[in-house]
Structure 1
């Protein structure tokens, strides 16, 4: 059991391990990075995810540099925000493209119809579309994740798109 003097001494001592230093770094900066992300995106959950991703990147680089600070975190978060904006743009473009399909139901429920149709797909097909359109994976990255060649990965994407299109068309004909 530690005495009060030992506890005060422990609290005043500087962190010695990399994990302790990073934990202190995280505690000092988490709320600042979260506020930064929230001011730039209108979704608290997305801002929390971006903040977590920012610290995940920071942890990966933490051991190699002792000069990491708030500016590094802001720059990392800024880059991740750019990725998020591009992802949202792709989703909106896909939804707009689906709305232009004459066989796709018109109206404000297009996003709901898309999500419902994707839930009817096989899990592997749905995952390929998520990785391609939502996670912005390149052919090479997709191939690495799937354990195949880039050509085979794009063939899977093509089949998944055809499957989604078939489900969307069948919903229109049955509505």
Structure 2
């Protein structure tokens, strides 16, 4: 039996390594998954994010994903699209709630400015501030929700606070 030529050329792993199989799986199925997401989401960037997240899930469950192929990917993407629609509904409901607050007094002006500035932030930054200040999550809880280390979570909080500060200073708020 002769050794695989690719191993002799310097490759350090056999051609059937999970990483290589997943690379082939990704190349074979990315465009159909992206098209699947784009037909259901009217925002190209969001569709790309959903396709990427679909493959992140597929990597974490690669044995099952590889076996089921597109069926696994389409079901995963469908679930993620449902999550995205629910997220969009929550954001829309929050915007309506913030824009139609009950009777405001002159002393509430700062609160109103803060709410408007928060609506002008990127969704991810706004969510981090809500989790930190409104939901009062601990550093560990925030890291768990974000799927990162505590240090990375606090770095994100810091960036979100800086973004909010810049929006408040600029006076550019959500209309």
Calculate the TM-score normalised by the size of structure 2: 0.57
Contact 1:132 1:142 in 2 (8 A): no
1:127 is aligned to: 128
Between the aligned partners of 1:35 and 1:71, the Cα distance in structure 2 is 14
Structure 2, unpaired ranges of 5+: 7-13, 110-114, 145-163
RMSD: 4.2
Cα 1:139/1:93, change in 2 over 3 Å: same
Give the gaps of 5 or more residues in structure 1: 1-5, 8-13, 106-110, 148-163
The CA distance in 1 between the partners of 2:127 and 2:23, in whole Å, is 37
Alpha-carbon separation, structure 1, partners of 2:53 and 2:47: 10
- Pair 1:115 & 2:116 matched: no
* Alpha-carbon offset, residue 63 of structure 1: 3.9
Q: CA deviation at 1:129?
A: 1.2
Residue 57 (structure 1) aligned with residue 57 (structure 2): yes
Task: For residue 76 of structure 1, give the secondary structure of its aligned residue in structure 2.
Answer: helix
Is 1:67 the counterpart of 2:71? The answer is no
Aligned-residue offset at 1:99: 1.6
The answer to whether the 8 A contact 1:50-1:80 is kept is yes
Within a 5 Å distance, the mapping from 1:155-170 to structure 2 comes to: none
Does the 8 A contact of 1:22 with 1:59 survive in 2? yes
Q: Does 1:28 align with 2:25?
A: no
Per-residue CA distance 1:65-123 (angstroms, 9 max, x = gap): 64131010000000000000000000000001012114499xxxxx975434x59xxx8
Question: Which position in structure 1 is the counterpart of 2:156?
Answer: none
Aligned-partner Cα distance in 2 for 1:56–1:146? 18
Q: How many residues are paired up?
A: 126
Q: CA deviation at 1:139?
A: 8.8
Among 142, 147, 156, the residue aligned to 1:145: 142
Q: Deviations over 1:13-48 (max 9, x none)?
A: x94110010000000000000000000000000000
1:62–1:68 Cα contact (<8 Å) kept: no
